[in-house]
Structures are given as C-alpha cells and as structure tokens.
Amino acid sequence: MPPSPAPGSQLLSSVDLDRLRPALHRYCARMVGSALDGEDIVQDALLRALEAAAPERPIDNPDGWLFRIAHNLALDVLRRRARLDGTQGDDDMDLIAHPVDEQARREAAAASLPTFMQMPASQRSVVILFDVLDYSAQEVSEILDTSVAAVKSLLQRGRGRLRELTGPAAPASAHAPLSAAEQRLLRRYVELFNARDFDTLRTMLAADVKLDLVNRLQLQGPAVGQYYTRYGQTQGWHARPGVVEGRPAVLMQQQAGADARPDYFVVLGWSGDRVATIRDFLFAPYVAADAEQAPL
C-alpha cells in the first residue's frame, strides 16, 4: 500500500499556487522593500507550511494561513535589519468593511518598493493587503490576527502616509553601482550567452556553484552545467547586462532591442572571476514586475 501524502503536501495541493504565489510575493516584496528578498520569504513560507500542517489541525482558510506565515517571516526579516542598522524600532513591529477608496488603491498599486519602506510596517501591511491585494477588512484582520477596528485605523493612517510619500520626487535607489570588475564579468557572460557559447560559460562556473531555478529546482557543483543544456535547446531569448536591486543580472527578453522590457532576469553572484551563484527567475516572472532593475 503506497504511503499517504504528507499533510503539508495535501494542504498545498488544495491551494492554487499559480494564483497565490504571485500575490504572496507582491505582499512580501512590499513589506521588506525587495523583490528578491520577497521571493526568499515566499519560498520559506511554503516550506514552513509543509512542515507545520498537521491532520489533527484542519485549516479552514489555507490562503489566509499562508499569508499569516509569510507576514510573520517578513516581520522577522525587518527585526533582523533593525538589530543590524537600527533603522526601525521594535514598536513598529507590533501589529495589529472599510469604504473602498479607488484613488487610494491606484496610488498603492503604483507605489514603488522604496516608497512602501518609508511607511511603518503596521500601516504598510494593511495597505498592501487591502489596497494592493484587494482583501477585505475582515480578511486582513484574520491574516494579521488583530481586530477589524485596528485594521481600519491603520488603513486610514497608512493611506494618508502613502499620499504624503507619493509626490513628484520618488525615493532614490539605495543600491551602490556595480564595480568595474563586476561589469566586465557580466558583459562577458552576456556576450557568451548570446553567442550560444555555453561550453565556455561552463568554464566560468565555480567548482561549488549554486543554482536556484526559482519555483523549480536547485542544483550545486558540476550538476549546474546541465542548466545551460536547456537554454541551448531553446531559441528566441536575448540577454542584456543589467542591475537588479544593486546586483549583477542578466535581463532576459524574447524581443531584442533597447526598448523591450525584460520578461524575467537571472541574478549572478561572483567569487573572484567565477560564477558562484545563479538565481534564474524564468519560472517566477512575477518577481520582475516589482524589482528595481535597469540595463547597464
């Protein structure tokens, strides 16, 4: 008799992750101010859900439960940052059928990640859930484990703060530019990719290189070489050197040209002149919608 599936697997199989995962990412990215860190939190939240689900504790609202896990993990990230740089006090982490305000929702949807990071975390979480992700006040209160009255109060204050922040002057990027060495290595990588010279690309990999094909698989060491085999079998992708949240990245697009928006990106990490880490977002294109990115 085959073994029964784990409770966590049964739970996640009942959730439409193709729909929920991008929504979780939109929330986490805005909570921590980074599309890349937001995806890390989403992956961690799904792993925690797999580990925490138990048959003796049925979950009536899996979506809300996953959001609550992701929310708490995002707060953990903010607390760690606060301890390191002192930019945010612990008081900001203590959280907590409002009238629909279409103007507020448009403002929230258009706000950049750095803009959200200038709001208190408590207000930020409510505005994202209510105005960006379209949850009701009751649903927000359940996700954040607080009262509807507290949600309404935080929403009102958060909308006011967001309006103050979304003036003509957008927050400047806090990321340092790439070094000359990083730019040189990145341009070389992209040149080889576009020439389909994957054998030479493999020689640029560090012996212990790590690949994260986000939302699909992870590999390390010599096995990463097969990653290029798939790209060698596909046509139409064009790579450009770029920067994503201050990190060297390959901007991938199906239409060549300076004006074409990347469909997704691949973030690279270097160890000397070798590729040490590869994070490929081919199967998580929603991350590109929120990431701060620019071509070199």
For residue 110, give the CATH number of its domain: 1.20.140.160
Domain membership flag for residue 197: yes
Q: Quick one: pLDDT band at residue 94, thresholds 50, 70, 90?
A: very low
Domain containing 280 equals 180-295
Is residue 199 located within the same domain as residue 242?
yes
Mean pLDDT of 133-141: 92
pLDDT tens sequence across 140-197: 999 999 999 999 999 999 999 988 887 655 555 556 789 999 999 999 999 999 999 9
Domain membership flag for residue 170: no
Mean pLDDT score across all residues of the chain: 85
Model pLDDT, residue 272: 95
Model pLDDT, residue 112: 80
Model pLDDT, residue 71: 94
Q: Domain count for the chain, please give it.
A: 2
Is residue 19 located within the same domain as residue 139?
yes
CB 278 within 8 A of CB 210: yes
Q: Quick one: pLDDT band at residue 51, thresholds 50, 70, 90?
A: confident
Mean pLDDT of 254-276: 87
Domain membership flag for residue 286: yes
- The reply to whether the predicted model has a pTM over 0.85 is no
Is residue 208 located within the same domain as residue 286?
yes
Model pLDDT, residue 236: 84
Is residue 158 located within the same domain as residue 204?
no
Model pLDDT, residue 90: 42
Q: Which of 165, 190, 225 is the last residue of a domain?
A: 165
Rounded CA separation 182/176 (Å): 12
